[in-house]
Structure 1
Amino acid sequence: MAKRKPATLAGDVPSRQQIWESIRTLKASQRTITMDRLNLLLPKMPESRITDYLRGLVAAGYVERRNPNKAIGDVAEYELIRDIGFEAPRVRRDGSEPPVPGREQLWRTMKIIGEFTAQELADAATTPARSIAVNTAHEYCQFLAHANYLHITRASGPNLPARYRLASGRWTGPMAPQIRRTKELYDPNTKAVVYSRVTKTEGGEP
């Protein structure tokens, strides 16, 4: 069997989200969850990636094997027993939960704290499991502001950091907009590129 290529670029809808949505689709249509059916719904997804995530969901108690003692040749069947909604559980193969990525922490925090500077956002988003650098918060705020997700309430000046707040109606969902390696901002909630930064050599902004 030819090796499949990954379905998305870095920063697109995470593979776990695509798998989780497919599992929920099968559940909603009252069809048994099997690898063959997941493969049909995710034709560009590497099978090993689906298997690993499914194994993690089983270990974490979100999915259950319906026929754990299946005979040789029988198809493994699964059932979604803990549906937590749209956002896919973040689990490792052993069922443990990894720390939330930095930009996801920033995205969730800015909805809560109201108005903020990059430093204030980084401080508020930092947890014992993951520290957020102010430079990371600053770059993320700039991209979100260019895409009109953030409103600048105070422009930056000499020794004066810019202040931001989430613009009205711009919370598009729980998944954090991602900065691609190509310096585009991609929103996995809307599945759209919402901002592209043109480099200075191309005649645009730096």
Structure 2
Amino acid sequence: MSARRKARLVPAGRLTTREKLWAAMRELKHFTVPELARAAGVDRHAYNIRDYLLGLVRADILFAKPPASPGCFTVYRLQRDLGVDAPRVRRDGSIPRESAQSRMWKSMKILRVFSVRDLVVHAALPEAPIAPGAALRYCQWLARGGYLTPLPREKGDVARYRFIRDTGAKAPQILSVKQLFDANTGEIVVGQDIQSALDDAEGASC
């Protein structure tokens, strides 16, 4: 497969486990769970691949052929290729709404200059409002990361931000990485890596 063709199968940036699996599905077309895990470079004992596959089957994105005999694996076939972006599905096949951070990121790129209230109004959905405190926290983190710059304001004015750094379609995420840090040695003794923190954050947004 050419590098150009391969690039169309894989989204840009750091991939979640779900995105790795989807890219491998698009390349393989037909696969068992072990074949998919191997192609995606995913530990099938550490990540519940079958739940994701079950959701895709129930959403009519995959077709599952039952095992031919005891001891054999179910064979899956990709019947609807939805493009480079990995579909997000629940176990029952339903599609979760887009996360608040993703909606705010898209809104920032449209508004360019905005207050927290502007952002909340633009990014909220009737069935999924965004708390002003959550929007403010996201803006503050993005400002610290160099994506936004706070604008000067007169006394009594609301805080406003200018969008200055667009790194792509995926919204930057505020991650909670669970780690045990020993201040005596300056070492992280045990805990999550970025990959597992990304996967946890993705699961929490469903």
Q: Same fold (TM over 0.5)?
A: yes
Aligned mates of 2:67, 2:175 — CA distance in 1: 44
Matching residue of 1:172: 168
Mapped partners of 2:19, 2:133: distance in 1:
28
Question: CA offset at residue 69 of structure 1?
Answer: 6.7
Return the alpha-carbon distance in structure 2 between the equivalents of residues 19 and 166 of structure 1. Answer: 33
How far the C-alpha of 1:36 sits from its partner, in A, is 0.7
Structure 1 residue 145 displacement after superposition: 1.9
Equivalent position of 2:81 in the other structure: 83
CA spacing shift, 1:151–1:82, aligned 2, 3 Å: farther
Q: Aligned runs of 1:1-206 on 2, under 5 Å?
A: 13-27=15-29, 32-40=30-38, 41-46=40-45, 49-65=48-64, 67-68=65-66, 70-152=68-150, 154-156=151-153, 158-167=155-164, 170-173=166-169, 175-181=170-176
- State the Cα distance separating 1:47 from its structure 2 match: 5.7
Higher helix proportion, which one? Answer: 2
Unaligned runs of 5+ residues in structure 2 are: 1-13, 178-193, 199-206
Distance, in Å, in 1 between the alignment partners of 2:96 and 2:125 is: 13
Asked if the contact 2:51–2:91 (Cα under 8 Å) also holds between the matched residues in 1, the reply is yes
Deviation at residue 125 of structure 1 after TM alignment? 0.9
Range 51-60 or range 100-109, more displaced? 100-109
- In structure 1, list runs of 5 or more residues that go unmatched: 1-11, 192-206
Shift in Å, 1:142: 1.6
RMSD, matched Cα: 2.8
Give a deviation string over 1:45-92, Cα, whole Å, max 9, x none: 546621000100111121122x34733333321122222222221111
Give the distance between the partners of 2:163 and 2:26, measured in 1 at CA: 30
**C-alpha deviation, 1:34, in angstroms:** 1.4
Partners of 2:80 and 2:50 in 1: how far apart?
A: 18
Q: Secondary structure at the match of 2:161?
A: strand
Checking the alignment, whether the CA contact within 8 Å between 2:116 and 2:136 is kept in structure 1 is: yes
Whole-angstrom CA distance in 2 between matches of 1:119 and 1:47? 41
Closer, same or farther: CA 149–26 of 1 in aligned 2, 3 Å: farther
Quote the Cα distance in structure 1 between the aligned partners of 2:156 and 2:44.
Answer: 48
Structure 2 CA distance, aligned partners of 1:139 and 1:176?
14
TM-score by length of 2: 0.69
Aligned residue type for 1:160:
D
Q: Distance in 1 between matches of 2:100 and 2:147?
A: 18
TM-score, normalised via structure 1 length: 0.69
